[in-house]
Amino acid sequence: MIGPGTGGRVYLACGATDMRKGIAGLSTMAQDVLRQKPASGAVFAFRGRKGDRLKLLYWDGQGFCLYYKVLERGRFP
């Protein structure tokens, strides 16, 4: 299975996130900024400054998964 099933929680970090951050940096943001446990099974979404990049951090029970999407045109809302 790729990604979480239905019914999971999704947390969106407000504002722009430094897209150079990897799993460790985004996990720290989930804990310190969003006040959630990174390994809770929830999905944590982080948007880049220009709005054309999105990273999703997810704990699948064995380790962290990091999904990274870059739009060729347009921006995420």
In the chain, domain spans:
24-77
**End-to-end alpha-carbon separation of the chain, Å?**
27
pLDDT at 1 over 50: no
Separate counts of helices (H) and strands (E) for the chain: 1, 4
- Indicate the pTM of the whole model: 0.86
49-75 average pLDDT score:
95
- Write the pLDDT tens digit of every residue in 7-44: 789 999 998 999 999 999 999 999 999 999 999 999 99
Cβ pair 16, 37 in contact under 8 A: no
57-63 average pLDDT score:
94
Alpha helices in the chain (DSSP H): 23-32
